[in-house]
Chains A and B, each alone.
Chain A
C-alpha cells in the first residue's frame, strides 16, 4: 500500500505544475489546459483520501468535479473562439484595452 503522503505529494506536484503553466504561458488555450490540470490534481487527491479512509463521499465528489470540468471547458472554449475571432491571436496580452 502506498502511503498517503506520497499520493498527496504527487497530487500537489501535479497541481503546482498546472499553476506554473497557468502563470507562465501566454497562450489562452494553454492557460485553460493548465486550469484543467489543476482541477484534475484536486480530484485525484479526493480519490486518494477517499481510498485511504475507505469512505465513499470523495468518489461521489469526483463525479461532480468531472461535471464542473466539462462545464468549464464548454464555456471556456466558447470564450477562446470569441477571443480569436476578435483579436486574431491567442496571446492574452492582446486584450489590454481595459488599462487605466
Chain B
C-alpha cells in the first residue's frame, strides 16, 4: 500500500518539476520519470500489461518523439553546469523500487486484480471491434496529416 503512495507522490513531484522546468529537454525527461511512476502505480492496481504498454508507448515513443523535435529545433539556451543530484536521486529511487518488486514475496502483494490478458484481447476484438477500426482510421489520418505538415510545399505564383 505504501508502494502506491510513494509512487503517486513521485509522479506528482516529477510532473510539477516538468511543468516548471525552463529547459525543454529537462522537462521531457522529468515527464518520462513521471510516466514510469504512473506505470508502477498501474502495476500496483493490477494491470502489469498496461503498465508495460504505458512505458513502451509513452516513454519509449511519444517522449522520444518530443526529444527528437527538441533536438531538431536546436533551441539556443545558455549551457549550464550539470547538476547531477536530482537525476541520481531519481535513478536510485527507481532502482530501489524495481529491486523491491523483484523480491518474490512482493509479487502477490502488488497484483491485486485478476483480469487476464486473454479477456482483454477478446473484448477488444469482439465488443470493441468497430472501435479498433476507428482507431486505425485515426492513425491513418494522423499519418496523412503528419506527412502533409512535414512536406515542403512549393509556393504558388
Contacts and interface: CB of A to CB of B under 8 A. Distances in A.
A50 B15 CA distance: 24
B99 interface: no
A63 B50 CA distance: 8
B11 to A, nearest CB: 7
Contacts of A21: 18-19
Given A56-B123, A60-B123, A77 B69 contact: yes
Interface residues of A, number: 53
B12 interface: yes
Contacts of B113: 51, 54
Contacts, number: 153
Interface of B: 1, 4-5, 8, 11-12, 15-16, 18-19, 24, 27-28, 31, 34-35, 38, 41-42, 44-47, 50, 53-54, 57-58, 61-62, 65-66, 69-70, 72-73, 75, 112-115, 119-120, 123-124, 127-128, 131, 135, 138-139, 141-143, 145-146, 148-150
A1 B141 CA distance: 41
Interface of B is mostly: helix
A59 B57 contact: no
B50 A59 contact: yes
Given A36-B31, A60-B124, A71-B142, A44 B135 contact: no
Contacts of B42: 44, 47
Contacts of B128: 60, 64
Interface of A: 1-2, 6-7, 10, 13-14, 17-18, 20-21, 24-25, 27, 29-30, 32-34, 36-37, 40, 44, 47-48, 50-51, 54, 56-57, 59-60, 62-64, 66-75, 77-82, 84, 90
Contacts of A13: 12
